[in-house]
Amino acid sequence: MALADFIADLNALSAEADASFASAADAAALEAARVEYLGAKAGRLKAVQQGLGKVDKADKPAAGKRFNEVKQAIEAAFAAAQERQSRGAVVAEREAFDVTLPGRPVRLGRLHPVTQTIAEMKDIMGRLGFTAVEGPEIEDDWHNFEALNIPRSHPARDPLDNFYLATAQLTPGESPGAKSLGGKPLLLRSQTSTVQIRVMESTPPPVRIISLGRVYRPDTADATHYPMFHQIEGLLIDRGVTMADLKSVLRLFCQSYFGSVEAGGQDVHVRFRPSFFPFTEPSVEVDMSWTNAAGEHGWLEMGGAGMVDPNVLRAVGYDPEEVTGFAFGLGVERICMRQHGITDIRALYENDVRFLEQF
Amino acid sequence: MIVSLDWLAEYVALPKSLDELTERLTLTGLNLEGVQQAGDDTGVDLEVTSNRPDCLGHVGVAREIAVLWQKELKVPAPQPKAQGKPVDSLASVTIDAPELCPRYTARVIKGVKIGPSPAWLANRLRTLGIAVINNVVDATNYVMMECGQPLHAFDFAKLKGGKIIVRESRPGEKFTAINHQEYELSAGTCVIADAERAVALAGVMGGADSEVSAGTVDLLIESADFECMSVRATARALNLHSPSSYRFERGVDPEGIDWASRRCCELILELAGGELAEGVLDEGSERPARPEIKLRFEQLPRVLGIDVPPQEVRKILTDLGCEETHECGHCVKAIPPSWRADLTREIDLIEEVARIYGYEQIPEDAGVKMAASTRTRSDRVLERVRGVMFAAGFYEAMTLSAVESAWCEAFRPWTSAAPLAASTPVLRRADRLRQSLVPSLLAARRHNEKLSNPNIELFEVAKVYLPEAGELPRERRVLSATTGRGFLDAKGIIESVVAAVAPAARIAIEAAEFPLLDPARQAVAKLGDQLLGVVGELGDSGRDRFELRSPAAVLELDLELLIEAAELRTTVAPLSPYPPVARDLNIVVDEAVRWSAVEETARVAGGELVEAISYEETYRDEKRLGAGKKSLLFGVQLRSANGTLTNEEADAVRDRIVAALAKSVGGALRA
């Protein structure tokens, strides 16, 4: 066989194989083409290889070289076709799987914004060494008034300013329950200072607590008032506790709560304005400094505070010549509302799930 | 208290800047509420705390300014000229209720000419927002706003017998006030009467038929002290609040009563003419002298945390009107001024010193001692409980602690005692202290249904109030929830909460009969012999009661019990290195057989190799199983701590279980 004829056969085969691989529509057609050209037993390349033996001996090296070249080319063409096809399959698979579909949601709950506010306050006060305590919401005259230096004549005791428990609601046969103790009516506590009295009565100084929970005052419900709200009150009684300690603890609290590094880390300051509460003397209103992005600054009312009145210390059996102490109280709702931009306190108690969902 | 700057300037030199004035006053006790321009004058609204009635008049505010800016306070000394007959020949004053009226003074002016007030006076009253009436009434209001002592001018001709009698009201006594409304007075109301009838409610409001009118010629000017509780009670009872009652409720300066009377008469003579009767009718007891108060200098740093120089302390007290009676290196003694009834103790003087010296002097970076704080057991448990509810997809609600009576009766698993009630509703009809949170949450559910909100899954942690005879009520904190899911989901919440808090606690489920709930789909959970919780789907009537459209289930759990049972620090169990072996069982039993009995039997029979028993499903097929039968499919996972279990060992356990079930519940392995 002439070398030229052999090479011509090889070239024709190579061109056919290329065309055949390129036109194979799917994996099966490609496999059929592979068997036709590269099949180990009956492939056409194999058939051509047999022609190699008939080539003139002198031409054999050239023919063999060319054969190998063509074989590699056909194999490469097959590999390329295979690669092309599998790439197409991935594309199709990807197309059929939409990664932008919504993930399968985990339906998580929500904690009430007031709970979250309280938790953060407790957390900060805990780091400042104050242990959180709670106490009864229904209180007696002693804990809600008398021990807090609120005498009988004080307007804070007015029935219109408190929810006293009714005594004449009973129908015959009902058990009387406890609507008064020792002839004095019970009431829904109007402040959480009651808890401080209970703790001081049962614990010798030092005392370092925050008391918190629901309190009740007969306010008509409107955007800023609700007859039930939450208070958090701090109390520190020890030897040598001063108003400077009070100011410093309040500044640390405000700095932790409002002046976090993430929020810009501004220095927060507090100031005192004289005020009047029966259970503290001196009594002050506490303001916190604020600065906004525009560089404006001012003062924000935080709550009431003061040095525990000697009468209160005596009422719980402490000696005001031995120990001093401070107390402060913050309205939870007010701070919560400010933090979240809530403009109507009633939203906190309406329990619309669209509202709760946002926390 | 609105003050007129024009008026204040009469008593003290004001700082140039209004901001400087209000800023300093705010920081020393008179909080700025607002500023209003009124013609050429400026009205400054200052908040006066209830312990400082001395600042309910311009002189009092001027005194504060004088102390703070170290200026002289100029208070007029009224000397009205008396040219008439002796007053006691014209009128008389009797106090029949000395406990309600410690002091009553009266002066008489004859022959006044009622007319309009001059512009300077009318303008000042307008700055304060006080209605301008006529020269006499305006003069009484003017002096009240000057010194804080309320005054009243009677038309003397209308006082029967020329008599003033301060007494308690008679039963059923009626009174027509200057607002021309008639009031029936409750017994014990302090009234000013003439010989025949009440002509004024003491300290609260004058009467219509003795008021000063255009035809009035002769006046009786009252300047008195009335007991604060009595004035407050009258004002509250009749809902008659006046600038006068406001001041008496807080207390007036006992030494300022006569000054106010003279000042008022002087002004009336000037504005309305007339002739002042000689002398004053002055009844009542002398107040006991104020005792001196000792202030130990060492107490200032002890309370305030800063030193205040003793000479500074003495100056502040003296400037404020205290009379120094003693001074040494250690302490100062002083008698507070009559207008400061709030100063009775050392600590009160410390507050005065601090206030004037300036709270800004107190540092905000004191080295407060460190202390360890602990989280209470209940706080730890509540955090876990909330964590479970959060993970279970519940939103935390907060509802009012009081409910209306019908709600209270709707569901009360914890007590049968009548609910406690507030004497006035906390909100709308809600006057009962609730004994379960379930009704409140169902109401919240209804609210959300009405808003077409999907996924109403709510929980609340709050107290219920259970009456106890002769003691404070028992307040139990409970967890309550409502879900649109079914009984088993709600029950699963209880189980998950218990597992998260008290993993070792074994709760028993028993049938229950709450009318609110579906008769079949409700149960109570018990811990030992104590009621731990309730769970159930709402029945039709329960849904109707709360106007709910969609199915709902509720649960309530006694958290106090759970807090007691809580296991907050677990001790780990050793893990077996050997693999588990599982066996499935399919047992046919009567319909009445409860899963709990099957599980318990299997657990006991299986013995310690049983690691877990997991219920799979219940299968019913009358044809294959027979009527009244069901098949319970469940898996038993076995594991040994000592070696890999062989199939024979596992089968032996299964066979023991099957045999025990046959005996205890009549169960048969399903063919």
Q: For A54-104, how does the pLDDT look when each residue is reduced to its tens digit (9 = 90+)?
A: 888 888 888 888 888 888 988 998 898 888 888 888 888 888 999 999 999
| Cis amide bond preceding A206, omega within 30 | yes
Confidence (pLDDT) at B636: 97
Strands, E, within chain A: which ranges? 131-133, 138-139, 163-164, 180-181, 184-185, 187-188, 207-216, 228-238, 270-277, 280-291, 297-308, 324-331
Please tell me whether residues A136 and A178 are part of one structural domain.
Answer: yes
Name which of A94, A273, A5, A183 is nearest B354 in CA terms.
A273
Mean pLDDT of the residues in chain B: 95
Helix axes A3-23, A60-96, angle to 10 degrees: 0
Distance from CA of A246 to the nearest CA of B (A): 8
Name which of A120, A9, A110 is nearest A54 in CA terms.
A9
Q: Tell whether A88 is covered by a domain.
A: yes
Q: Which of A45, A64, A96 is the last residue of a domain?
A: A96
Residue A274: closest CA among chain B residues belongs to which residue?
A: B29
pTM, 2 dp: 0.87
Q: What is the mean pLDDT of residues B416-422?
A: 92
Q: Tell whether A171 is covered by a domain.
A: yes
Distance from CA of A293 to the nearest CA of B (A): 24
Q: Tell whether A284 is covered by a domain.
A: yes
CA dihedral B125→B130→B135→B137, nearest 10 degrees, is -140
B47–A contact, CB cutoff 8 A: no
B391–A contact, CB cutoff 8 A: yes
Task: Locate B356 and state its tokens.
Answer: 């004037």
Please tell me whether residues A91 and A119 are part of one structural domain.
Answer: no
- Give the dihedral sign, CA B417/B422/B423/B427: negative
| DSSP letter, residue A138 | E
Please tell me whether residues A139 and A166 are part of one structural domain.
Answer: yes
Q: What is the mean pLDDT of residues B442-464?
A: 97
Q: What is the SS3 assignment for B105? A: strand
Q: How far is Cα A186 from Cα A136, in angstroms, rounded to an integer?
A: 11
Q: What is the mean pLDDT of residues B595-615?
A: 96
Centre a 10 Å sphere on the Cβ of residue A39 and count the other Cβ atoms it contains: 15
Distance from CA of B396 to the nearest CA of A (A): 5
Confidence (pLDDT) at A223: 94
Domains identified in chain A, total number:
2
Nearest to B396 among A112, A228, A243 (CB): A112
Distance from CA of B610 to the nearest CA of A (A): 33
Which chain B residues have a beta carbon less than 8 Å from that of A186?
420, 472-473
Angle at B626 between CA B621 and CA B629, to 5 degrees: 75
ipTM: 0.91
To which residue do tokens 């709670």 refer?
A134
Name which of B144, B555, A71, A341 is nearest B153 in CA terms.
B144
CA B5 to chain CA centroid, nearest Å: 36
The neighbouring-strand residues paired with A211 are A133, A233
Please tell me whether residues A318 and A205 are part of one structural domain.
Answer: yes
Residue B464: closest CA among chain A residues belongs to which residue?
A: A137
Name which of B439, B443, B461, B520 is nearest B486 in CA terms.
B520
Rg (CA), chain B: 40
B475–A contact, CB cutoff 8 A: yes
Distance from CA of A118 to the nearest CA of B (A): 12
Residue B559: burial class (beta carbons within 10 Å; 0-12, 13-18, 19+): buried
Q: How far is Cα B137 from Cα B112, in angstroms, rounded to an integer?
A: 12
In sequence order, what DSSP letters do the residues of A235-264 get, joined into one string?
Answer: EEEETT--HHHHHHHHHHHHHHHH--TTTT
User: Is the confidence at residue B124, as pLDDT, over 90?
Assistant: yes
Mean pLDDT of the residues in chain A: 89
Residue type, A288: M
User: Is the confidence at residue B62, as pLDDT, over 70?
Assistant: yes
Q: Which carries the bigger pLDDT value, residue A91 or residue B581?
A: B581
Are the Cβ atoms of A244 and B398 closer than 8 angstroms? Answer: no
Query: Residues A307-332, buried b or exposed e (16+ Cβ, 10 A)?
Result: bbbbbbbebbebebeebbbbbbbbbb
Task: Locate A260 and state its tokens.
Answer: 């976090």
In sequence order, what DSSP letters do the residues of B619-642 get, joined into one string?
Answer: E--HHHH-TTEEEEEEEEEE--SS
Task: Locate B550 and state its tokens.
Answer: 């969609």
Q: How far is Cα A237 from Cα A227, in angstroms, rounded to an integer?
A: 31
Residue type, B532: L
Question: C-alpha distances in angstroms, A40 versus A44, A267, B265?
Answer: 9, 83, 134
Are the Cβ atoms of B448 and A353 closer than 8 angstroms? Answer: yes
Q: What is the SS3 assignment for B329? A: coil
Question: C-alpha distances in angstroms, B21 versus A273, A276, A296, B17?
Answer: 15, 21, 22, 6
Q: How far is Cα B553 from Cα B494, in angstroms, rounded to an integer?
A: 12
Residue type, B375: R
Distance from CA of A32 to the nearest CA of B (A): 50
Angle at A295 between CA A294 and CA A297, to 5 degrees: 115
Nearest to A166 among B421, B447, B459 (CB): B421
- Give the dihedral sign, CA A8/A10/A13/A18: negative
Q: Which of A41, A64, A96 is the last residue of a domain?
A: A96
Cβ(B440)–Cβ(B403) below 8 Å: yes
CATH code for the domain in which residue A257 is found: 3.30.930.10
Are the Cβ atoms of B351 and A282 closer than 8 angstroms? Answer: yes
Distance from CA of A177 to the nearest CA of B (A): 4
Are the Cβ atoms of B390 and A125 closer than 8 angstroms? Answer: no
Q: Which carries the bigger pLDDT value, residue B671 or residue A76?
A: A76
Q: How confident is the model at residue A167 (pLDDT cuts 50, 70, 90)?
A: low
Please tell me whether residues A17 and A47 are part of one structural domain.
Answer: yes
Percent of all residues in chain B with a pLDDT value above 70, rounded to a whole number: 100
Q: What is the mean pLDDT of residues B45-49?
A: 96
User: Is the confidence at residue B88, as pLDDT, over 50?
Assistant: yes
Name which of B287, B184, B267 is nearest B219 in CA terms.
B267
Percent of all residues in chain B with a pLDDT value above 90, rounded to a whole number: 93
Strands B163-168 and B190-193: antiparallel
Which chain A residues have a beta carbon less than 8 Å from that of B27?
271, 273-274
Q: What is the mean pLDDT of residues B596-614?
A: 96
Task: Locate A4 and state its tokens.
Answer: 């030229």
Q: Tell whether A224 is covered by a domain.
A: yes
| Terminal Cα distance for chain A, rounded | 89
Q: How far is Cα B364 from Cα B213, in angstroms, rounded to an integer?
A: 59
Please state which of the ranges A86-95, B57-66, B143-152, B438-447 shows the lowest mean pLDDT.
A86-95
Cβ(B534)–Cβ(B437) below 8 Å: no
Are the Cβ atoms of B475 and A170 closer than 8 angstroms? Answer: no
B399–A contact, CB cutoff 8 A: yes
A interface test, pick of B31, B245, B364 with most A CB neighbours within 10 Å: B364
User: Is the confidence at residue B604, as pLDDT, over 90?
Assistant: yes
Q: Tell whether A49 is covered by a domain.
A: yes
For residue A256, the enclosing domain spans: 113-356
Task: Locate A245 and state its tokens.
Answer: 């300690």
Nearest to B455 among A282, A284, A353 (CB): A353
| Terminal Cα distance for chain B, rounded | 92
Are the Cβ atoms of B448 and A177 closer than 8 angstroms? Answer: no
Are the Cβ atoms of B371 and A307 closer than 8 angstroms? Answer: no
CA A251 to chain CA centroid, nearest Å: 25
Nearest to B393 among A108, A155, A348 (CB): A108
Angle at A291 between CA A288 and CA A297, to 5 degrees: 80
Task: Locate B649 and state its tokens.
Answer: 């060992």
Q: Tell whether A80 is covered by a domain.
A: yes
Which chain A residues have a beta carbon less than 8 Å from that of B368?
128, 245, 248-249, 252
Residue type, B244: S
Q: How far is Cα A286 from Cα A301, in angstroms, rounded to an integer?
A: 6
Are the Cβ atoms of B458 and A353 closer than 8 angstroms? Answer: yes
Q: How far is Cα A18 from Cα B380, in angstroms, rounded to an integer?
A: 75
Please tell me whether residues A122 and A252 are part of one structural domain.
Answer: yes
Q: How far is Cα B349 from Cα B351, in angstroms, rounded to an integer?
A: 5
Q: What is the mean pLDDT of residues A287-294?
A: 85
Widest distance between CA atoms in chain B: 127
Please tell me whether residues A177 and A76 are part of one structural domain.
Answer: no
To which residue do tokens 């025949």 refer?
B196
Q: What is the SS3 assignment for A348? A: helix
- Compute φ and ψ for B102, nearest 5 degrees: -70, -30
B403 Rama class: left (phi>0) / alpha (psi -120 to 50) / beta: beta
Please tell me whether residues A214 and A313 are part of one structural domain.
Answer: yes
Q: How confident is the model at residue A40 (pLDDT cuts 50, 70, 90)?
A: confident
Are the Cβ atoms of B422 and A165 closer than 8 angstroms? Answer: yes
Q: What is the SS3 assignment for B14? A: coil
Q: Tell whether A103 is covered by a domain.
A: no
A interface test, pick of B373, B394, B445 with most A CB neighbours within 10 Å: B373
Please tell me whether residues A254 and A348 are part of one structural domain.
Answer: yes
Confidence (pLDDT) at A267: 85
Please tell me whether residues A154 and A243 are part of one structural domain.
Answer: yes
Please tell me whether residues A119 and A38 are part of one structural domain.
Answer: no
Nearest to A166 among B364, B422, B472 (CB): B422
Task: Locate B595 and state its tokens.
Answer: 């899963």
Which chain A residues have a beta carbon less than 8 Å from that of B301?
242
Please tell me whether residues A316 and A212 are part of one structural domain.
Answer: yes
What domains sit in chain B, N to C, each tagged with a CATH number?
2-69 (3.30.56.10), 82-284 (3.50.40.10), 293-360 (3.30.56.10), 377-565 (3.30.930.10), 581-669 (3.30.70.380)
CA A329 to chain CA centroid, nearest Å: 26
In sequence order, what DSSP letters do the residues of A296-341 get, joined into one string?
Answer: -EEEEEEEEEEEEPHHHHHHTT--TTT-EEEEEEEEHHHHHHHHHT
Q: How confident is the model at residue A261 (pLDDT cuts 50, 70, 90)?
A: low
Q: Which of A48, A67, A96 is the last residue of a domain?
A: A96
Which chain B residues have a beta carbon less than 8 Å from that of A131?
373-376
Centre a 10 Å sphere on the Cβ of residue B312 and count the other Cβ atoms it contains: 14
Confidence (pLDDT) at B468: 86
User: Is the confidence at residue B583, as pLDDT, over 60?
Assistant: yes
Q: How far is Cα A325 from Cα A320, in angstroms, rounded to an integer?
A: 9
Confidence (pLDDT) at A174: 42
Centre a 10 Å sphere on the Cβ of residue B113 and count the other Cβ atoms it contains: 12
Are the Cβ atoms of B375 and A126 closer than 8 angstroms? Answer: yes
Confidence (pLDDT) at A177: 45
| DSSP letter, residue A126 | H
Cβ(B84)–Cβ(B213) below 8 Å: no
3-state helix, strand, coil in chain B (%, to 5): 35, 30, 40
Confidence (pLDDT) at A181: 58
